[in-house]
Amino acid sequence: MPDISALRCRECARTFELVDLHVCDFCLGPLEVVYDYERVASRMGRASVAGGPRSLWRYRDLLPVDAEAAVDLGAGCTPLVRAERLGAQLGLRELWIKNDTVNPTGSFKDRVVSVALTKARQLGYKVAACASTGNLASAVAAHAAWAGMDSVVLVPRDLERAKIQMASVYGGRVIAVDGTYDDVNRLCAELAGEFATWAFVNVNLRAYYAEGSKTLAFEICEQLDWEVPDHVVVPIASGSQLTKVKKGFDEFGLVGLVTGAGRVRVSGAQALGCSPVATAHAAGSDEIVPVRPHTVAKSLAIGNPADGYYALQAIAETGGGCAAVTDDAILEAIRLLARTEGIFAETAGGVTIASLLQLVEDGTIAPHERVVAIVTGHGLKTVEALSDRLEVAPAIPPTLDAFCELVEGLDEATPLAVGGRS
């Protein structure tokens, strides 16, 4: 709600109204939305949330925009799935998967874009834009189409084909840039200064955009019947999502919707080929040294994470850990999640699940904890990453004999008749 929130510089603490400003105009520090929590608490309760729309806009009291004219394709309210098979395999008492693959464009980015473009429209912007590792591009293009805005999305040229094709379908302009995501990011930071009428959602609307990720934490609490989990595993690209998930739990505690919010441990998940936050965490350093990414998890390939420092702080404050997993582990984890829980995740989800395994193995996650792993994007977006690992479907003539012959030849280790869920 705009009347009870403001922008505050995370570095020098100067405050601003909810204006069109993307960094502190004194020290260039990032801006954070702060709320008057007493007033939020007076108007937000479990019943008012439960009676709200079936999208992230049910949490409008803790979002910094006017929800009456929301750009809402229905992002949010995704399933929180009890993962019994995977949990049993890992020796965890209670494991849940936050399945954010089922958002309108197949990733959690729909949450942040819904908030950012709602604000962009209110500020009078006509063109929606972004720097993207793939998922954001489709989310921006789709929401812009819905809102009747033009869109321009910039992506690194080596992105997965499916992501570029998907982003192109919504009618906006997709521009492939020679370089890494960090190069695209830097270009957009410069463009945002020059093209003043363009809303680069993750640049000049970033303060508003990032708030959308809090709704992951809000939903998890509501879906756990207004309780908090003990431990949550969140992938790290820029570090914004992890930081905001922690903020979400804290805010639900501050407005009295849950108790024990301060006990939620937050752990990070990175690919070994792009792990600047995990590296700093392992070294006990608070300095993030940028890297040149080289990983199959392209959606997380940010070598110079703008919110890496804050993610590191959130992990340290809550007693979480930060894993770094190999490409091989990522691709195996995608199959593990699909085979145990029927959820097909993109490579970023593979990073989350492989990190979950690593954090259980190294003792960071205890067996008795109630754990939530956030799976942020759909597997169809990165299906090419698995092409070497999937069996080619056998082709047979359409006859009973041919089928029986094939089935007889099947290895006993992969019987056709498998047990149902117990």
Q: State yes or no: residue 290 binds other proteins (CB under 8 A).
A: yes
**Of the residues 56, 280, 306, 374, which one makes contact with other proteins according to CB under 8 A:** 306
Nearest residue to 272 via CA among 294, 252, 256, 288 = 294
Q: State yes or no: residue 227 binds other proteins (CB under 8 A).
A: no
Q: Any idea how long the chain is?
A: 422
Q: State yes or no: residue 99 binds other proteins (CB under 8 A).
A: no
Q: State yes or no: residue 190 binds other proteins (CB under 8 A).
A: yes
Per-residue x/- track, 123-142, other proteins (CB under 8 A):
--------x-x--x------
Instruction: Provide the minimum distance between the beta carbon of 269 and other proteins in the complex, in angstroms, as a whole number.
Output: 13
Q: State yes or no: residue 64 binds other proteins (CB under 8 A).
A: no
Q: Tell me which residues in 258-287 interact with other proteins (CB under 8 A).
A: 287
Q: Of the listed pieces 37-45, 46-54, 189-197, 260-268, which binds other proteins according to CB under 8 A?
A: 189-197
The CA-atom distances, in angstroms, between 349 and each of 153, 297, 413 are 23, 9, 27
Per-residue x/- track, 338-377, other proteins (CB under 8 A):
----------------------------------------
Most distant CA atoms of the chain, gap in Å: 77
Q: State yes or no: residue 69 binds other proteins (CB under 8 A).
A: no
**Of the residues 87, 229, 248, 305, which one makes contact with other proteins according to CB under 8 A:** 305
Structure tokens at 126: 């006509």
Q: State yes or no: residue 185 binds other proteins (CB under 8 A).
A: yes
Comparing CB distances to other proteins, the nearer of 117 and 203 is: 203
- Distance linking the first and last C-alpha atoms of the chain: 45
Per-residue x/- track, 196-215, other proteins (CB under 8 A):
----x-xx--x---------
Structure tokens at 246: 């922690």
The CA-atom distances, in angstroms, between 114 and each of 58, 84, 272, 335 are 13, 32, 31, 30
Q: State yes or no: residue 27 binds other proteins (CB under 8 A).
A: yes
Q: State yes or no: residue 171 binds other proteins (CB under 8 A).
A: no
Cα–Cα dist 51/57, whole Å: 11
Instruction: Provide the minimum distance between the beta carbon of 397 and other proteins in the complex, in angstroms, as a whole number.
Output: 49
- What is the residue-wise DSSP string for 263-298? G-EEEEEEETTB-HHHHHHHHT-S-PPP-----S-G
Comparing CB distances to other proteins, the nearer of 86 and 201 is: 201
Q: State yes or no: residue 186 binds other proteins (CB under 8 A).
A: yes
Per the CB < 8 A criterion, the answer to whether 307 and 238 are in contact is yes
Classify residue 186 by burial, with Cβ atoms within 10 Å: 0-12, 13-18, 19+: middle
Comparing CB distances to other proteins, the nearer of 120 and 192 is: 192
- Helix ranges restricted to H, 228-362: 240-254, 276-283, 308-318, 327-341, 347-361
Comparing CB distances to other proteins, the nearer of 307 and 327 is: 307
Per the CB < 8 A criterion, the answer to whether 288 and 281 are in contact is no
Comparing CB distances to other proteins, the nearer of 94 and 183 is: 183
Cα–Cα dist 404/407, whole Å: 5
**Of the residues 6, 23, 145, 176, which one makes contact with other proteins according to CB under 8 A:** 23
Q: State yes or no: residue 20 binds other proteins (CB under 8 A).
A: no
Compute how many other C-beta atoms are within 10 angstroms of the C-beta atom of residue 292.
Answer: 11
Q: Summarize as ranges the residues that interact with other proteins (CB under 8 A).
A: 11, 22-23, 25-30, 131, 133, 136, 182-183, 185-186, 188-190, 192-194, 200, 202-203, 206, 237-241, 287-290, 302, 304-307, 309
